[in-house]
Amino acid sequence: MSSDIETLERLEAEFLAAVKDALDEPTLDAVRVAALGKKGRISDLMKGLGGMSAEERQSMGPLLNGLKDRIGEALAARKAELHDLKLAARLASERIDVTLPVRESPLEAGRIHPLTQVWDEVVTILADLGFAVEQGPDIESDFYNFTALNFPEGHPAREMHDTFYFEPRADGARPLLRTHTSPVQMRTMEKGQPPFRFVAPGRTYRCDSDQTHTPQFHQIEGLVVDENTHLGHLKWTLEEFLRAFFEVDGVELRFRPSFFPFTEPSMEVDVRCARLGNEIRIGEGNDWLEILGCGMIHPNVLKSANIDPERYQGFAWGIGLDGLAMLKYGIPDLRAFFESDLRWLRHYGFSALNIPTLSGGLSL
Amino acid sequence: MKFTLSWLKDHLETDATLNEIAERLTTLGLEVEGITDPAKKLGAFTVAKIIEAVPHPDADKLKLCKVETLIDGKREIQQVVCGAPNARSGIFGIFAPSGATIPVNGMVLKPTKIRGVESNGMMCSERELELSNEHTGIIELGDGFEVGMLAAEALGQNDPMIEIAITPNRPDCLGVYGIARDLAASGLGLLRQGNIAPVAGAFENPVTIAIEPDSDTACPVFAGRLIRGVKNGPSPEWMQRRLRAVGLRPINALVDVTNYISCDRARPLHVYDAAKLQGAVRARLGREGESFTALDGKSYDVDADMCVIADEAQVLGLAGIMGGEASGSTGATTDVFVESAWFDPVRTARTGRRTGIVSDARYRFERGVDPAFVLSGLELATRMIVEICGGTPSEVTVAGRAPEPEKRVLFDPARTQKLSGLALDVSEQTRILSALGFVVTPQGGLLDVLAPSWRLDIDGSADLVEEIVRVHGLNKVVSVPLPRPDGIARPVVTGTQRRDRLARRVLATRGLVETVNWSFIPARDAALFGGGDEASPQLRFANPISADMSHMRPSLLAGLIAAAGRNIARGFPDLALFEVGQQFAGDGPEDQKQAASGIRRGTARPQGAGRHWQSTGGQGKAGPVEALDAKADALALLAALGVPAANLQITADAPAWYHPGRSGVVRMGPKTVLATFGELHPAVLHDMDVAGPLVGFEVLLDSIPEPKRKATRARPPLDLSGLMPLRRDFAFVVDAQVPAGDLLRAARGADKQLVSEVTLFDLFEGGALGEGKKSLAIEVTIEPHEKTLTEEEIEAVSKKIVAAVEKATGGSLRS
């Protein structure tokens, strides 16, 4: 009996040493087979239990089982250890140069034009006040661009517009490029019923070209028609709009009487600003910057749209989108908007995912 | 409109400062564009007296002067070396001390030595002070000046010039008097009427005046008189100074008087040398073939639409625009015929445009001159001419009758608050209107308001509200919140607007840079893209700003390619650009279409442009852009816009501006073209002088059917199969011309229940296959739904696929 125990102890020591000495998984597996495999030495001893007396079995059983468990545990532990060692060795051999440059993604390379960005900003702000968005054609008739908007035939006010004309048609009509977005007023009002509340952004044209004028530019027209809207509402709307657009705490506006054939009273609006070198800051300072034209819609315009001017009234304003973009984003030259210089577009353009929202901030 | 402060004060009695006046003008809608104070540049200059002038010891032409000055209360004698021939003792002139800046050249004076003699300061010529071009000698002041007096005062250069912008509705403010009236109405002073009382005529007017029947609307009234025995020299200094200050060149007294009254009262007049007139003077329409030489020295042809003033012999002038050289007044004029008439604004504007003559008279007549001031203007001119030039006036002759546009408005004073939000007493409203010249008569609760003759712009209540609010102060209008829509804001953009917005963002995520190009392009480019003079002459401007901008664009590609050319020239050859905007097939609203178009040039492929160490090409070069890169852009955009890819067909019949073998059309059904794409035609690039490789695409946004609005936002239930999909590869050998799309469609359609996806993973041409053949290898995903497929069933599907492909393509399974 004692010799049996000694044999078991020797066997245990022998296998534990073999486990410890195994340097890779195949060697370790060979040790397992030699000990615990079908024909393994420990398995053989286990098989011998059957031929023992109940007494012997009672004492040898636990001893053998204990041996089997301990060798099994040692094998498992060594297996895990060898696995870790192997992984460590692999990781130690695998290295990249993490400073190697990677490709710019298309998302980073793409840009949205500042004009589009500002367009989206303006529409987002005014949508909150319930302004719908209306659009109309670039090639207009004399009627929609002038006559319906109370520009009398031959009136000098028409000449202020430097209009692009097409050749006269056989029927005497003379199509033109719209000089402002105001024709959309008429087109929208004549196909609907008051009340109206909409903006009309779009491309406009005048044959004029210098440092501050380009033959095409962009305007957004805003219009409210109902039974009670007056100049005070106009003032508030413009103040709120400009405050939100320039993302400042407040703006101060100065209204100056002016003249547009389609509004009465008509006014130009200056905004308080500071001029710091080439930079203009809205909402501070002691300077004034002319920023838009507006007024109460002329009764003749309402009449042209078959709206009763005795009952309905409202305001309209027009503002340059290009100018808004220049002011807000410090873009110095209007002409560059249409030159498609890649360097300019990359510098002043916006990421595709920079979508203006009121909740998240327009330009953050 | 320019005027000086002193001129304004002729008509406005006021203590207001220049700044107060300027601010009020802007408040009234007479926007101040600039103020020039000539005294500023003369601040350092004073009157000085030469008390001794002796020859310079070392220079023949120079003089050594002792000059008495009084600067900042200190009387001093300065030594000044002076080269002026008229420098002599006893005269008063203008002295510039050391430290002063000479206006004409910006030079700062320093004490100096001239030929060894000290010289302190300078005696100035008129040119040095920018008063005139006179530089032969120093300024000699007459009597009545004292040493130390400010030069600006001594020279009459202390009258600030104010320039204001006059809107087209306010021709009454094209005269200083009208401006004064607005200021007075706003409470800034009292209006002075001035003397416009009639001057009695001493004899009957010998000049016959007539209006021909054809011109009674063109020239409803024509008044005139002769003044005999005038002496037409230079006009008085004060008048010349004012005319010069507002940018007018003094001519002679008679002409200057008319120019002065034009500025003073917005009343253009004309003077004729009566000795040069032959017979009656008439207003009539021009006759074809007539021409005349105007005062600008140029000859103008006259036509039957123009109103002219003519005598028996010739056309004397274009009515209300410009007189003729032949009948103009000169220094020799002794008898002058003065014309005061009223000309139809519309016809005057038309004639002005046609002749291109820009004159102060035209500017006023086409905006509308006060018809009631015809006679007063004539009397005012008579008074001034007689005062300045002497002479005896005849009686006044008037042909026709001045129009009396009785502009009467029954005005509800409540309208003011309704339109402006400003609560103003009826009395204040009445006061303002009356001060502006309106005649206001209460009538029940309303006001009967008669507009003054000079306010041709008044048509209704809104005009009166404008006048009241303008004078009361527009800045007193209080902001009132615009009522907000109830509840949370509703969506406002339309489907097409949302589509355009999404298109821009989608293309930018693909690495394309958004541009905004001109709507107009050169004729040549328009022709290259299906427009131009032959295809759409109606899109050519009558008045283009330049030859490069003469036609509306038929395609956005033209501008994009031109932009590529400019960027290449700047050293940026790899570009991916797009534009979403309008293009034009004709001049009707329905001919304007929205497109989303883009180009890729050089190596600007979707995976990135330029050289990169990971690129597989040699030297890190990316391959050149390919037609299919443009196809990928177009399809990605269509997918983002909700066009199901399965519904699209690709055909190889793109428009002529694409490479015929490397371009395609994306269609939805046989008729609807949604997009085109491909390499640009080499000839197009050559004509536009832009080097390739360059590919492009055009997505015709307006052709995309608007997605149907669903009743609910809920998605259809997700039907997932619990069974594993399996994948099988097939390779087919087909003729090289067989479109891969046909093969893929056949494979997809082979068993719609089981085939869920077909992917082309290899394309191989030539080699062992032989000439004219290609191999297309596909991976087919088979997705069982009800039960795992048996080997036999899989085999059956595979056979169906092979059969379908072979039938559709004429090819065979590659063994």
Q: Do A112 and B508 touch (CB under 8 A)?
A: yes
pLDDT value of residue B309: 95
Kindly report the length of chain A.
Answer: 364
Residues from chain A contacting residue B543 (CB–CB below 8 Å): 164-165, 207
ipTM for the complex? 0.89
Instruction: Tell whether A252 is covered by a domain.
Output: yes
Provide the shortest C-alpha distance from residue A227 to chain B (in Å): 9
Contact B804, B797 (CB under 8 A): no
Alpha-carbon span B369 to B342, nearest angstrom: 7
Does the bond joining A195 to the residue before it have cis omega, within 30 degrees of 0? yes
Indicate whether A217 and A141 sit together in one domain: yes
* Adjacency order of strands within the sheet including B408-411: B408-411, B446-450, B439-443
Q: Do B519 and A203 touch (CB under 8 A)?
A: yes
Q: At B803, which CATH number? A: 3.30.70.380
Indicate whether B125 and B241 sit together in one domain: no
Contact B800, B750 (CB under 8 A): yes
Residues from chain A contacting residue B27 (CB–CB below 8 Å): 256-257
CA angle A123/A127/A128 to nearest 5° reads 130
Indicate whether A129 and A263 sit together in one domain: yes
Q: Do A231 and B469 touch (CB under 8 A)?
A: yes
Contact A249, A336 (CB under 8 A): no
Contact B463, A82 (CB under 8 A): no
Indicate whether A134 and A263 sit together in one domain: yes
pLDDT value of residue A91: 94
Query: Which chain A residue has the Cα nearest residue B573?
Result: A342
Indicate whether B785 and B662 sit together in one domain: no
Q: Is pLDDT at A188 greater than 80 in this prediction?
A: yes
Provide the shortest C-alpha distance from residue B589 to chain A (in Å): 5
Instruction: Tell whether B481 is covered by a domain.
Output: no
Residues from chain A contacting residue B469 (CB–CB below 8 Å): 231, 257, 265
Q: How many domains does chain B have?
A: 6
pLDDT value of residue B153: 85
Interval B176-213: pLDDT, tens: 999 999 999 999 999 998 888 899 999 999 999 999 99
Q: Is pLDDT at A1 greater than 80 in this prediction?
A: no
Indicate whether B749 and B675 sit together in one domain: no
**In the predicted model, what is the mean pLDDT of chain A?**
91
Interval A105-132: pLDDT, tens: 999 999 999 999 999 999 999 999 999 9
Indicate whether B317 and B213 sit together in one domain: yes
Q: What 8-state DSSP symbol labels residue B657?
A: T
Q: Which domain holds residue A42?
A: 2-93
Which DSSP string do the residues of B457-514 spell out, in sequence order?
T--SHHHHHHHHHHHH-GGGPPP-PPPPPSSSPPP-S-HHHHHHHHHHHHHHHTTPEE
Instruction: Tell whether A363 is covered by a domain.
Output: no
Mutate to test the interface with B, among A153, A228, A230 (most CBs of B within 10 A): A230
Query: Which chain A residue has the Cα nearest residue B587?
Result: A139
Q: Which of B482, B485, B609 sits opposite A237 (nearest CB)?
A: B482
Pairing of strands A253-260, A279-282: unpaired
Q: Do B543 and A164 touch (CB under 8 A)?
A: yes
pLDDT value of residue A327: 92
Indicate whether A331 and A198 sit together in one domain: yes
| Ranges of residues in chain B whose predicted pLDDT is under 50 | none
Indicate whether B582 and B444 sit together in one domain: no
Q: How many domains does chain A have?
A: 2
Q: Which of A129, A136, A208 sits opposite B484 (nearest CB)?
A: A129
Q: Do A216 and B567 touch (CB under 8 A)?
A: no
Instruction: Tell whether B640 is covered by a domain.
Output: yes
pLDDT value of residue A2: 53
pLDDT value of residue A347: 97
Instruction: Tell whether B708 is covered by a domain.
Output: no
Q: What is the CA radius of gyration of chain A?
A: 42
Indicate whether B68 and B32 sit together in one domain: no
Q: Do A175 and B549 touch (CB under 8 A)?
A: no
Instruction: Tell whether B483 is covered by a domain.
Output: no
Indicate whether A279 and A225 sit together in one domain: yes
Interval A9-48: pLDDT, tens: 888 899 999 999 999 999 999 999 998 899 888 888 888 8
Q: Do A265 and B466 touch (CB under 8 A)?
A: yes
Mutate to test the interface with B, among A153, A177, A198, A264 (most CBs of B within 10 A): A264
Indicate whether B365 and B236 sit together in one domain: yes
pLDDT value of residue B222: 96
Instruction: Tell whether A102 is covered by a domain.
Output: no
Instruction: Tell whether A19 is covered by a domain.
Output: yes
Instruction: Tell whether A166 is covered by a domain.
Output: yes
Interval A55-112: pLDDT, tens: 888 888 888 888 899 999 999 999 999 999 999 999 999 999 999 999 889 999 999 9
CB count within 10 Å of CB A273 equals 22
Indicate whether A26 and A116 sit together in one domain: no
| DSSP three-state, residue B348 | helix
Indicate whether A87 and A119 sit together in one domain: no
Indicate whether A85 and A146 sit together in one domain: no
Q: Do A340 and B27 touch (CB under 8 A)?
A: no
Q: Which of A115, A157, A298 sits opposite B462 (nearest CB)?
A: A298
Q: Which of B26, B482, B592 sits opposite A233 (nearest CB)?
A: B482
Query: Which chain B residue has the Cα nearest residue A174?
Result: B542
Indicate whether B57 and B123 sit together in one domain: yes
Q: At B30, which CATH number? A: 3.30.56.10
Residues from chain B contacting residue A205 (CB–CB below 8 Å): 519
Pairing of strands B513-514, B575-584: parallel
Instruction: Tell whether B628 is covered by a domain.
Output: yes
Indicate whether B20 and B145 sit together in one domain: no
Instruction: Tell whether A98 is covered by a domain.
Output: no
Instruction: Tell whether B202 is covered by a domain.
Output: no
Indicate whether A54 and A136 sit together in one domain: no
Indicate whether B545 and B670 sit together in one domain: yes
Q: At B633, which CATH number? A: 3.30.930.10
Indicate whether B539 and B647 sit together in one domain: yes
Q: Which of B169, B544, B608 sits opposite A104 (nearest CB)?
A: B608
Query: Which chain B residue has the Cα nearest residue A157?
Result: B168
pLDDT value of residue B104: 86
Query: Which chain B residue has the Cα nearest residue A160?
Result: B168
Indicate whether A188 and A296 sit together in one domain: yes
Does the bond joining B682 to the residue before it have cis omega, within 30 degrees of 0? no
% residues pLDDT > 90 (chain A): 72
pLDDT value of residue B482: 95
Q: Do A346 and B513 touch (CB under 8 A)?
A: yes
Q: At A245, which CATH number? A: 3.30.930.10
Mutate to test the interface with A, among B420, B469, B513, B520 (most CBs of A within 10 A): B513
Q: Do B346 and A154 touch (CB under 8 A)?
A: yes
Indicate whether B303 and B317 sit together in one domain: yes
Which DSSP string do the residues of A145-167 spell out, in sequence order?
HTGGGT--TT-HHHHTT---BBP
Q: Do A110 and B511 touch (CB under 8 A)?
A: yes
Query: Which chain B residue has the Cα nearest residue A209?
Result: B545
Name residue, tokens 């946004």: B701
Provide the shortest C-alpha distance from residue B470 to chain A (in Å): 6
Number of cross-chain residue pairs from A and B with Cβ atoms under 8 Å apart: 268
> Backbone phi, then psi, for A292, in 5-degree steps?
-165, 170
Interval A203-261: pLDDT, tens: 999 988 777 789 999 999 999 999 999 999 999 999 999 999 999 998 999 999 999 99
Instruction: Tell whether A358 is covered by a domain.
Output: no
Q: Which domain holds residue B426?
A: 419-453+462-476
Q: Categorise residue B14: left if φ over 0, alpha if ψ from -120 to 50, beta otherwise.
A: beta
Q: Do A231 and B419 touch (CB under 8 A)?
A: yes
Q: Do B462 and A299 touch (CB under 8 A)?
A: yes
Q: What 8-state DSSP symbol labels residue B214?
A: G
Indicate whether A58 and A188 sit together in one domain: no
Indicate whether A83 and A125 sit together in one domain: no
Contact A148, A186 (CB under 8 A): yes
Instruction: Tell whether B720 is covered by a domain.
Output: no
Instruction: Tell whether B413 is covered by a domain.
Output: no
CB count within 10 Å of CB A169 equals 11
Residues from chain A contacting residue B475 (CB–CB below 8 Å): 254-255
Residues 6+ apart with CB under 8 A from A276: none
pLDDT band at A3, cuts 50/70/90?
A: low
